[in-house]
């Protein structure tokens, strides 16, 4: 496959290829950009070496050989010579797996998430039926309390979706219901052509159950139930400071180590977002430190301001101090190993700070 | 003190970090999560427990130590790296004691860090012989600490429910791993993110687990009205108990607005010398690339909602922690007194779960707060008794039966944190991999040798991909790249193994490389995925 053959393909075909190559965001690209992305993803390298395993994704069958054949191709840029996983680790995930299916997931009492995939064969089949696959429909069945067979739902509604995406969030009219979602398309005659049917999901209730325990021991009549609900914080559930508020903070703290921009604090200046971040702002911090260093005989005993100093093996020493405003008198006292000779030198350092306001 | 118990308090700390271990790098930033948590949370907690036992305080606390965390704590490479890390911190703290000599407002704090880091080194190396698991286990064996497990990789179960074999594997692998570390079976579990869906209890029951936790509305919105709200557990129809989170006590610690950790006397997290000090000086203690990072040495207190920060005063901060512990206990006493009046003579249980890393890492004085609280409740309170869920169930075997509602402790209470436009793309891959793992396991039940190793490794890759941490990080919008990469890597590695096994082209060197890289669960058995 090269640029010329790709140019002869329709955008739909290109999108399918892109999907199998795991190109993200393909749907938003123009045909020309898509072709570029596909060629890049196929990655026929300039030095004539075999393409990266990514190109194998063009043909699902070929995937089977990739484990064995691609060893030792990765350049090892790591710091430690560990046995490295020999396969390209920058691969994207495929956009599909060659299935035709739709899967429903519960997000909360009011929303479902569905994702789907329609494979080549199914698309061809639909094409022959004259169905316009650009206009997909999600038929949402309320199957609460029924064993759904396609005809016995309590109710249904349709949501039009497009074929550029492969997932959708569905807002549900009522919590505590069972739902089943059909992915379909309108056929040439305007009728609904089923492509795939989802699993059945049950959304959670968002309030106290109507069911009262039959066992009188646990019998909770309205008043008692409402009171217990209240002291259990039932009415505060949504305003609860859950794990996320602080959990997210925690993650950010942990992350503070990672992204250089996350914490831009310098002395006396907290993170920008804490400072409000509004309006024009400028800051300057100046601090001073003092290094006192010197040398004597390696076996001498040395103190600085009366506190022992550690000498390096060659008899040199170096101490670093944060230097605040004011005067520091810094006697450095040394005694030789025999204890019969001594020296003292006392630097005196004064720091004062002036802040000039223009 | 002789107690007239009117109510129980069950403190639950959820200790978890995702499995981050990169032998291929000398200095890998994300591994610091573990080192920081060891220094600031896990060792200080162990130290608190040591002190309580030494002083004959009869305390009770529950902790989940998740399988990824347990695997990291027991990992030799990470243990040795931690030792190197803490030694470097001691060196830095020594320099800091010297450097701050003329600044008394920081000098005492510098000495505190030196003392604490030296204590960490001592506990870690000389007392626990580098393996903190043995430390935690000792307190469990003494009957003070109940250690519970968690899904094998902190998977978010409500979004896995379509694949029962995958859910079962999360639980069974966790159970086995727990047995390896703690020498008995877990009685309880903290489901990742407190995530529950009706039906999960089946798999918990199969694994011999007797209790789990749900957020308040999991109990309150159960399929039958809960007679005693969140102040008594519900038995699922299979007799596995669900304890509900108490909102009031949660809020007092969790809430960044009104919670204790925001007190102005407590240590400010954001002012770290890793960012504040001269580059040349701090360079050996930040990332080798020169990227400034937190060192853990911080000299300021929260002070207020201002940019200006005042120096930290340890003594004052400890006084506040003691005061907050007293306040927490007082509020619980009032709470249980009120409850015991409306619960027909039943003894209420107040369940207060928190992320363990909140104590110490985020709220620096958190371990001190716990220390004060456990002491106060044990010795001063005449109406509250500390309890573990297991003990509670032994004493109160008769509970209402109802099935809790789908819930989590994430923002808004359901699955949205882990299922939104930032991370919803992962599920088609996670689901496909779960389906394929099941297919492989059924087809190669009796595999031996390298095929079997490949299957075991495939199971590890699937489990690692299922960590809820990745979806969570994508949502929080910090270090998203790492979370995306981990998801893709594990799925890709899984897929490679899947095709290799299917086509009979398993390459031993590939399997070995992955075994070393993703080394979690050394004795996993892939057959947990069989039907």
The CATH number covering residue A286 comes to 2.60.40
CB-closest option in A207, A220, A320 to B221 = A207
Label residue A237 by pLDDT band (50, 70, 90). Answer: low
Beta pairing class for B145-150 and A326-329: unpaired
- CB < 8 Å to B357, chain A: 250
- Cβ(A167)–Cβ(A103) under 8 Å? no
Task: Provide the total of helices (H) and of strands (E) in chain A, helices listed first.
Answer: 7, 15
Q: Nearest-CA distance from A287 to chain B in Å? A: 9
- Residue A342 sits in which domain range? 267-358
- Cβ(B52)–Cβ(B386) under 8 Å? no
- Structural domains counted in chain A: 4
Tell me how far CA of residue B247 lies from CA of A16, B233, B252, B349, B350, in angstroms: 50, 15, 9, 13, 9
Taking only the tens place, the pLDDT of each residue in B352-372 is 999 999 999 989 999 999 999
φ, ψ (nearest 5 deg) of residue B111: -65, -35
CB-closest option in A65, A79, A270 to B505 = A65
CA B469 to chain CA centroid, nearest Å? 11
Which 8-state DSSP code applies to residue B393?
A: H
pLDDT at B399: 96
H helices of A164-293, in order, are: 222-231, 243-255
In a domain, A241, yes or no: no
- As for the ipTM of the complex, it is 0.94
Q: Do B505 and A213 touch (CB under 8 A)?
A: no
Question: A356: buried, middle or exposed (CB in 10 Å: 19+, 13-18, 0-12)?
Answer: exposed
Q: Do B503 and A256 touch (CB under 8 A)?
A: no
- Residue A48 host element (H or E): none
Beta pairing class for B188-190 and B145-150: parallel
- The reply to whether A60 and A116 lie within a common domain is no
Per-residue exposure over A202-231, b if at least 16 CB sit within 10 Å of its own CB, e if not? bbbbbebbeebbeeeebebeeebbeebbeb
- The reply to whether A274 and A231 lie within a common domain is no
Taking only the tens place, the pLDDT of each residue in B305-339 is 888 999 999 999 999 999 999 999 999 999 999 99
- The reply to whether A62 and A144 lie within a common domain is no
Q: Do A232 and B361 touch (CB under 8 A)?
A: no
pLDDT at A279: 63
Question: B388: buried, middle or exposed (CB in 10 Å: 19+, 13-18, 0-12)?
Answer: buried
Which 8-state DSSP code applies to residue B39?
A: I
pLDDT at A32: 73
- The reply to whether A229 and A283 lie within a common domain is no
| Identity of the highest mean pLDDT range in A240-249, B115-124, B338-347 | B115-124
SS3 A33: helix
- The reply to whether A181 and A214 lie within a common domain is no
Q: Please count the residue pairs, one from chain A and one from chain B, whose beta carbons lie less than 8 angstroms apart.
A: 322
- Cβ(A184)–Cβ(A193) under 8 Å? yes
CA-closest candidate to residue B230, choices B407, B65, B418: B407
pLDDT at B395: 96
Taking only the tens place, the pLDDT of each residue in B163-194 is 999 999 999 999 999 999 999 999 999 999 99
Q: Nearest-CA distance from B183 to chain A in Å? A: 31
Q: Nearest-CA distance from A72 to chain B in Å? A: 11
CA-closest candidate to residue A109, choices B412, B224, B411, B226: B412
- The reply to whether A330 and A317 lie within a common domain is yes
Number of Cα atoms under 13 Å in the Cβ half of residue B189: 35
CB-closest option in A67, A206, A254 to B496 = A67
In a domain, A25, yes or no: yes
In a domain, A133, yes or no: yes
pLDDT at A129: 80
In a domain, A284, yes or no: yes
SS3 A139: strand
Q: Which chain A residue shows the shortest CA-CA distance from B338?
A: A231
- Cβ(B531)–Cβ(B438) under 8 Å? yes
- CB < 8 Å to B270, chain A: 256, 263, 265, 270-271, 274
Domains and CATH numbers, chain B: 7-74+131-267+312-412 (3.20.110.10), 420-529 (1.20.1430.10)
Per-residue three-class SS string for A268-325: CECCCCCCCCCCCCCCCCCCCEEEEEEECCCCCEEEECCEECCCCCCCEEEEEEECCC
Longest dimension (CA), chain B: 72
Q: What is the mean pLDDT of residues B20-40?
A: 92
**Tokens representing A307?**
């506190």
Interface test with B, best of A19, A72, A292, A322 (most B CBs within 10 A): A322
Rg of chain A over all Cα atoms, to the nearest angstrom: 36
Label residue A133 by pLDDT band (50, 70, 90). Answer: confident
- CB < 8 Å to B409, chain A: 242-243
Strand order in the sheet with A301-304: A307-308, A301-304, A332-335, A342-345
Kindly write down the DSSP assignment for every residue of B87-143, as one continuous string: HHHHHHHHHHHHHTTT-HHHHHHHHHHHHHHHHHHIIIIIISTT-HHHHHHHHHHTT
In a domain, A245, yes or no: no
Distance from C-alpha of B95 to C-alpha of B101, rounded to nearest angstrom: 10
Q: Do A67 and B98 touch (CB under 8 A)?
A: no
Distance from C-alpha of B417 to C-alpha of B423, rounded to nearest angstrom: 9
Of A178, A202, A226, the position where a domain reaches its end is: A202
Q: What is the CA angle A114-A119-A123, rounded to 5?
A: 105
B395: left (phi over 0), alpha (psi -120 to 50) or beta: alpha
Q: Do B276 and A265 touch (CB under 8 A)?
A: yes
- CB < 8 Å to B92, chain A: none
**Per-residue pLDDT at B402 exceeds 70:** yes
Q: Nearest-CA distance from B65 to chain A in Å? A: 17
pLDDT at A146: 96
- CB < 8 Å to B361, chain A: 250, 253
- The reply to whether A220 and A294 lie within a common domain is no
Taking only the tens place, the pLDDT of each residue in B149-160 is 999 999 999 999
Where is pLDDT greater, at A89 or B218?
Answer: B218
**Mean pLDDT lowest for which of A3-7, A249-253, A301-305, B426-430?**
A249-253
In a domain, A247, yes or no: no
The residue written with tokens 């201002």 in the block is B306
Taking only the tens place, the pLDDT of each residue in A267-324 is 333 344 444 445 678 889 999 999 999 999 999 999 999 999 999 999 999 999 999 9
Q: What is the mean pLDDT of residues B68-81?
A: 97
- The reply to whether A51 and A123 lie within a common domain is no
Q: At what angle do helices A222-231 and B314-342 cross, to 10 degrees?
A: 170
Q: Nearest-CA distance from A3 to chain B in Å? A: 28
A145: left (phi over 0), alpha (psi -120 to 50) or beta: left
φ, ψ (nearest 5 deg) of residue A317: -145, 160
Q: Do B412 and A238 touch (CB under 8 A)?
A: yes
Sign of CA dihedral B48, B54, B57, B62: positive
Q: Nearest-CA distance from A208 to chain B in Å? A: 5
Distance from C-alpha of B358 to C-alpha of B99, rounded to nearest angstrom: 30
CB-closest option in B220, B400, B411 to A218 = B400
φ, ψ (nearest 5 deg) of residue A178: -95, 140
**Tokens representing A49?**
């070496």
Q: What is the mean pLDDT of residues A24-49?
A: 59
The β-bridge partners of B359 are B363
In a domain, A180, yes or no: yes
In a domain, A74, yes or no: no
Which 8-state DSSP code applies to residue B378?
A: H
Q: Nearest-CA distance from A47 to chain B in Å? A: 26
CB-closest option in A205, A262, A320 to B221 = A205
- The reply to whether A105 and A197 lie within a common domain is yes
Distance from C-alpha of B182 to C-alpha of B140, rounded to nearest angstrom: 9
- The reply to whether A296 and A342 lie within a common domain is yes
The β-bridge partners of B13 are B63, B354
pLDDT at A57: 30
CA-closest candidate to residue A206, choices A170, A174, A169, A172: A174
């Amino acid at each position: 496959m090269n640029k010329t053959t790709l140019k002869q393909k329709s955008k739909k075909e290109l999108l399918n290829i892109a999907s199998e190559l795991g190109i993200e965001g393909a749907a938003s690209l123009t045909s020309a950009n898509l072709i570029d992305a596909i060629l890049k993803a196929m990655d026929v390298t300039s030095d004539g070496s075999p393409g990266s395993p990514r190109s194998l994704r063009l043909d699902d069958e070929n995937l089977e050989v990739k484990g064995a054949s691609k060893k030792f191709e990765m350049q090892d840029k790591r710091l430690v010579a560990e046995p490295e996983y020999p396969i390209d680790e920058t691969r994207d995930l495929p956009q599909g797996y060659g299935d035709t299916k739709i899967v429903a997931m519960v997000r909360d009492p009011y929303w479902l998430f569905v994702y789907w995939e329609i494979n080549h064969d199914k698309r061809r089949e639909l094409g022959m039926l004259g169905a316009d696959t650009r206009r997909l429909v999600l038929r949402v069945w309320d199957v609460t309390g029924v064993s759904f067979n396609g005809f016995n739902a309590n109710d249904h509604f349709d949501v039009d979706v497009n074929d550029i995406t492969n997932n959708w969030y569905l807002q549900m009219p009522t919590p505590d219901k069972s739902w089943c979602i059909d992915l379909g398309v309108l056929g040439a005659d305007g009728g609904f052509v089923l492509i795939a049917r989802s699993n059945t999901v049950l959304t959670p209730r968002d309030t106290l159950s109507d069911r009262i325990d039959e066992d009188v021991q646990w019998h909770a009549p309205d008043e008692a139930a409402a009171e217990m609900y209240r002291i259990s914080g039932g009415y505060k559930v949504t305003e609860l400071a859950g794990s996320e508020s602080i959990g997210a903070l925690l993650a950010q703290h942990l992350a503070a180590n990672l992204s250089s921009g996350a914490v831009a604090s310098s002395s006396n200046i907290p993170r920008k977002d804490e400072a409000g971040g509004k309006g024009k702002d400028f800051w300057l911090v100046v601090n001073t430190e003092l290094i006192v260093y010197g040398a004597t005989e390696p076996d001498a005993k040395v103190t600085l301001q009366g506190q022992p100093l550690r000498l390096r093996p060659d008899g040199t020493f170096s101490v670093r101090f944060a230097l605040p405003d004011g005067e520091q008198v810094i006697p450095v006292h040394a005694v030789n190993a025999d204890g019969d000779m001594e020296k003292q030198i006392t630097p005196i350092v004064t720091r004062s700070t002036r802040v000039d306001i223009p | 003190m002789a107690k007239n118990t009117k109510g129980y308090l069950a403190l639950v700390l959820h200790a978890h970090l995702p499995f981050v271990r990169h032998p291929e790098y000398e200095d890998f930033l994300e591994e610091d999560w573990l080192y920081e948590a060891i220094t600031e949370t896990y060792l200080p907690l162990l130290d608190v427990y040591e002190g309580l036992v030494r002083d004959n305080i009869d305390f009770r606390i529950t902790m989940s130590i998740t399988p990824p965390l347990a695997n990291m704590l027991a990992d030799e490479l990470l243990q040795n790296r931690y030792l190197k890390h803490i030694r470097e911190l001691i060196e830095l703290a020594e320099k800091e004691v010297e450097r701050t000599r003329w600044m008394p407002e920081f000098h005492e704090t510098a000495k505190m860090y030196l003392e604490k880091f030296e204590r960490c080194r001592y506990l870690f190396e000389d007392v626990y012989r580098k393996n903190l698991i043995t430390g935690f286990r000792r307190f469990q064996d003494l009957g003070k600490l109940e250690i519970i497990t968690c899904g094998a990789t902190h998977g978010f179960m409500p979004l896995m429910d379509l694949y029962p074999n995958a859910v079962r594997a999360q639980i069974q692998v966790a159970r086995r791993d727990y047995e390896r570390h703690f020498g008995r079976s877990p009685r309880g579990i903290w489901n990742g993110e407190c995530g529950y869906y009706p039906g999960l209890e089946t798999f918990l029951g199969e694994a011999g687990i007797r209790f789990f936790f749900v957020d308040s509305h999991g109990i309150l919105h159960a399929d039958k009205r809960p007679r005693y709200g969140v102040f008594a557990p519900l038995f699922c129809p299979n007799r596995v108990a669900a304890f509900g989170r108490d909102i009031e006590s949660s809020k007092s610690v969790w809430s960044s607005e009104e919670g204790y950790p925001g007190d102005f006397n407590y240590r400010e997290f954001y002012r770290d010398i890793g960012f504040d000090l001269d580059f040349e000086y701090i360079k050996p203690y930040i990332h080798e690339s020169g990227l400034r990072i937190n060192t853990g040495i911080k000299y300021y207190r929260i002070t207020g909602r201002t940019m200006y920060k005042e120096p930290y005063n340890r003594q004052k901060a400890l006084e506040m922690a003691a005061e907050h512990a007293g306040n927490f206990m007082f509020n619980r006493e009032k709470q249980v007194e009120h409850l015991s009046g409306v619960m027909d003579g039943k003894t209420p249980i107040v369940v207060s779960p928190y992320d363990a890393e909140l104590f110490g890492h985020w709220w620096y004085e958190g371990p001190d707060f716990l220390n004060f609280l456990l002491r106060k409740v044990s010795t001063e309170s005449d109406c509250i008794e500390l309890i573990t869920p297991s003990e509670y169930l032994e004493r109160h075997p008769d509970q209402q039966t109802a099935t809790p509602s789908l819930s989590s402790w994430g923002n808004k209470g359901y699955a949205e944190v882990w299922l939104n436009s930032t991370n919803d793309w992962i599920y088609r891959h996670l689901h496909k991999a779960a389906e394929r793992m099941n297919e492989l396991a059924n087809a190669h039940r009796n595999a031996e040798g390298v095929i079997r190793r490949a299957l075991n490794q495939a199971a590890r890759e699937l489990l690692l991909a299922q960590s809820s941490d990745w979806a969570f990080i994508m949502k929080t919008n910090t270090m998203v790249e790492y979370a995306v990469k981990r998801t893709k890597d594990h799925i890709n590695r899984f897929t490679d193994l899947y095709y290799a096994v299917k086509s009979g082209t398993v390459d031993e060197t590939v399997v070995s490389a992955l075994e070393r890289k993703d080394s979690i669960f050394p004795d996993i058995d892939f057959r947990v995925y069989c039907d």
